[in-house]
Amino acid sequence: MRSAIPALLLLAACTVLCLLAGCTGTPAGGTVQADDFSDWRLTLNGTGEEVLTLEDLRGLPASEGHGYAVSTVGIRYGPYRCRGVDLTLLVDMAGGMGERDQVWVSAPDGYLWVFDAEQMSGEGFVTFNEDLKEIPSPPLSIILMYEQDGHPLSYNDGGPARIAIISKEPGVVTEGSAWVKWVDRIEVRST
């Protein structure tokens, strides 16, 4: 009978492995996105064009601040400590923008959002307090965030890089429609 003990343990280990293999949290009909961003590229397009890797992006001067977003139906996301590259810096790398130009930010999931020059200077946004009551907007910045709460931005959170609207003071909530996830293209367009 003693020889049955290793067999039982082996059986247990196999059972656990099988169970684990079947429950990795894979969404039905979807695929698990490993956080390997080595193939990710960011295209900056304006009067010039540049293509950056994640390493290139992380090598640029960083901006940090508090970010807090809310969906169209009032679901809050955050608050976060956000770190990334100021969108104006990336626009400058694409050749800069004029007062009537716009910045089109898009992602491979088919999402697109547009910022105008006023917003690029941190103005013209609707802001709320944590109770979702409107408050006067403090100075804001748009960044391409690659780090959230001190950690690299995960795929599920929109990584490797997503838009965040940040402020120096905490508790400022902004409309989430502008927080484009999985950004891979930033384009300056004339209106």
Q: Note the residues at the interface with another protein (CB under 8 A).
A: 1-2, 4-5, 8-9, 11-13, 15-16, 19-20, 22-25, 27-31, 71-75, 102, 104, 109-116, 119, 124, 126, 132-134, 175-177, 191
Tokens of 138: 């403090």
Judged by CB, which is closer to another protein: 37, or 182?
A: 182
Q: Nearest 5°: phi and psi at 88? A: -65, -35
DSSP string, 10-61: HHHHHHHHHHHHT-S-PPTT-----S--TT--EEEESSSEEEE-HHHHHTSP
Which residues on neighbouring strands pair with residue 166, listed in sequence order? 67, 141
CB of 100 to another protein, least distance (A): 11
Q: What whole-number distance in Å separates Cα of residue 86 and Cα of residue 76?
A: 23
* Residue 78 Cβ vs another protein, minimum distance, rounded to whole Å: 16
169 and 138 Cβ atoms separated by less than 8 Å: yes
Compute the least distance from the CB of residue 180 to another protein, in Å.
10
Judged by beta carbon, residue 51 or residue 112, the one nearer another protein is 112
Task: Tell me whether residue 16 or residue 168 sits nearer to another protein (CB atom).
Answer: 16
Nearer to another protein, 43 or 102 (CB): 102
Contact criterion met (CB below 8 Å) for 128 and 134: yes
User: For residue 120, what are its two tokens?
Assistant: 């690029």
For residue 49, the SS3 value is strand
- Between 47 and 191, CB nearer to another protein: 191
d(C-alpha 134, C-alpha 172), whole Å: 10
State the DSSP H helix or E strand holding residue 168, giving kind and residue range, or none if neither: none
CB 79 → another protein: shortest distance, Å? 19
- Least distance from C-beta 61 to another protein, angstroms? 28
